[in-house]
């Protein structure tokens, strides 16, 4: 009751502190606060609730302590509730909450005790965010969707079609990660489009296009003229090196 009536900044601070708690009793209290906060009228509180889920579950990815691993194992009992909250956040009116809900679902999909920082998504999460792309009006959220899929290790249903669609976007962050994803699944139908991105005004897009074409290997061999033209025009040293490596591979 005191949490419900508190000012927004106090609610945010409470959620941050509760997410750091280690013991089982505090874990139960944290989940209760997240459930309340995720429905708050103030977007700052809703975002803090979602972010606390991402932070708590994502903490096992980066060489966690034994205490953090133990907490993650205890928290498994709360996963159904927390997943439902994060999934509801995908339709929040605020684009930042929607974006952070995608991140939270990704962190919920991380297993405990990993030796390396692998990224995976459950098929349910992948399906939800893939379907979300067409209805999404925010470029930042669309970029988070594409990035979340492009960076996972194993292909998931609908992923290939999403990259083809995303490469028609005008949003730089969407294009950047769509090129990465297309190379990951070797979607050769978009190699020509990725070659066009070598002339993009944003450095990150050009770098992504160059590295993706390099990953395509021999499938990029027909685009030597575009690569040479891009190399002649490029001023960024890292991109130039990648283009030189690419030319050495496809010539």
Chain segment 90-104, per-residue pLDDT in tens: 999 999 999 999 999
For the ranges 18-27, 73-82, 110-119, which has the lowest average pLDDT? 110-119
Predicted pLDDT of residue 70: 80
When the pLDDT of each residue in the chain is averaged and rounded to a whole number, the result is 92
Predicted pLDDT of residue 110: 75
Mean pLDDT confidence for 62-71: 77
Predicted pLDDT of residue 66: 82
Mean pLDDT confidence for 118-122: 76
Mean pLDDT confidence for 136-163: 93
Q: pLDDT over 70 for what percent of the chain?
A: 95
* Residue 114: Cβ-neighbour burial (10 angstroms; 0-12, 13-18, 19+): middle
For 4, other C-beta atoms within 10 Å of its C-beta total 10
Mean pLDDT confidence for 191-202: 98
Give pTM, 2 decimals.
0.91
Distance, in Å, from the CA atom of 49 to the CA atom of 100, rounded to the nearest integer, reads 10
Flag whether pLDDT at 24 surpasses 90.
no
76 closest CA partner among 115, 33, 113: 113
Predicted pLDDT of residue 27: 86
Predicted pLDDT of residue 113: 44
Distance, in Å, from the CA atom of 108 to the CA atom of 113, rounded to the nearest integer, reads 14
Mean pLDDT confidence for 53-69: 80
Of residues 86 and 119, more confidently modeled? 86
Mean pLDDT confidence for 69-76: 82
């Amino acid at each position: 009751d005191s949490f419900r009536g508190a000012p927004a900044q106090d609610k945010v601070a409470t959620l941050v502190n509760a997410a750091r708690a280690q013991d089982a009793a505090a874990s139960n209290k944290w989940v209760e606060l997240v459930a309340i906060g995720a429905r708050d009228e103030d977007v700052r509180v809703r975002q803090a609730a979602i972010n606390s889920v991402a932070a708590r579950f994502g903490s096992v990815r980066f060489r966690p302590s034994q205490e953090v691993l133990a907490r993650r194992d205890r928290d498994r009992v709360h996963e159904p509730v927390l997943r439902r909250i994060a999934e509801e956040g995908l339709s929040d009116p605020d684009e930042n909450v929607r974006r952070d809900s995608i991140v939270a679902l990704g962190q919920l999909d991380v297993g405990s005790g990993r030796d390396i920082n692998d990224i995976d998504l459950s098929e349910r999460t992948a399906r939800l965010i893939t379907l979300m792309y067409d209805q999404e009006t925010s470029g930042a959220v669309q970029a988070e969707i594409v990035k979340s899929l492009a960076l996972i290790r194993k292909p998931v249903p609908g992923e290939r079609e999403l990259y083809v669609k995303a490469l028609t976007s005008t949003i730089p962050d969407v294009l950047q990660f769509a090129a990465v994803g297309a190379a990951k699944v070797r979607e050769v139908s978009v190699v020509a489009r990725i070659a066009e991105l070598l002339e993009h005004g944003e450095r990150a897009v050009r770098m992504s296009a160059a590295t993706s074409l390099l990953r395509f290997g021999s499938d990029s061999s027909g685009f030597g003229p575009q690569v040479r033209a891009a190399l002649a025009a490029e001023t960024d040293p890292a991109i130039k090196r990648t283009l030189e490596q690419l030319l050495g591979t496809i010539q």
